[in-house]
Amino acid sequence: MAVGIVGWGAYIPRYRIKTREIAEAWGDDALRIRDMYLVEEKAVGYIDEDPVTMAVEASRDALTRAGVKPSEVGAVFAGTESKPYAVKPISSILIDALGLSRQVYSVDMEFACKAGSDAIINLMGLVKANSIKYGIAVGTDSSQGEPGEHLEYTVGTGAVAYVIGSSNLAAEIKYTYPYASDTPDFWRRDGSPYPVHGEGFTGEPAYFKHIMGAAKGLMDELGMKPSDFDYAVFHQPNARFPVRVAQMLGFPLEKVKPGIVVDLI
């Protein structure tokens, strides 16, 4: 059974803040910061925007583009690390906000930047098992960078949503390859206002070991090489890491794209 993306949607707040302004507020060198992260500005939510409201907008957009009725959706999985409630799922709010049936599977998933992709993979399994016809996978987050810390310059705010199914596919998901470990790069203890960023682990072994392991493992299992792919989209915690990992894997930079939702839209 072919399974993949039937519809997609995105929501990015209108407001922006320049990395130069953040640097000036903390007395940092604005040019050094720009050259370090290659980020000019980031999206920030207004006072009435949070991961819930953004998830609703992105999901509505995805359903409209897919031409799928809310009554046809059998599951909604939301991936986030910044939900506004410590105990209350986003997915249950989406059931009412989107007008879904009560007979739906609903789950909130947490795995830092990996939660949204895990939602997609789990929904693919439900579709393949004929347990549901369509499912909605949402990734939604608001900036939680600690003031003056690296993430304040690069982590923005926004949401994306995909309708996953097996008919009228806009993009088939051919294969997935998991690669995970307990690497202490990013965490937040209960009650802490900001996540902690383990800088000594951020590049190695956190980012490059996992991206390289997943990409090489995928290509080895499929018997493919970089020249077999038209485009590549790598995890993008900043602008430098995906460029470097593409070079390490042997992907020409002209094949590296900034994000799959941007291209699909």
Catalytic residues: 81, 113, 235
Spatial separation of the C-alpha atoms in residues 160 and 56, rounded to whole Å:
10
- Give the distance from CA 36 to its chain's centroid: 22
CA-wise closest residue to 215 among 249, 175, 256, 171: 249
Spatial separation of the C-alpha atoms in residues 114 and 103, rounded to whole Å:
27
φ, ψ (nearest 5 deg) of residue 261: -65, -40
Tokens of 105: 């599977």
Is the CB of residue 39 less than 8 Å from the CB of residue 101?
A: no
CA-wise closest residue to 1 among 134, 172, 190, 204: 172
Spatial separation of the C-alpha atoms in residues 77 and 107, rounded to whole Å:
5
Is the CB of residue 138 less than 8 Å from the CB of residue 77?
A: yes
Pairing of strands 73-79, 105-109: parallel
What is the secondary structure of 184-245 as a DSSP string? -SEE--TT-SS-EE-HHHIIIIIIHHHHHHHHHHHHHHHT--GGG-S-B----SSSHHHHHH
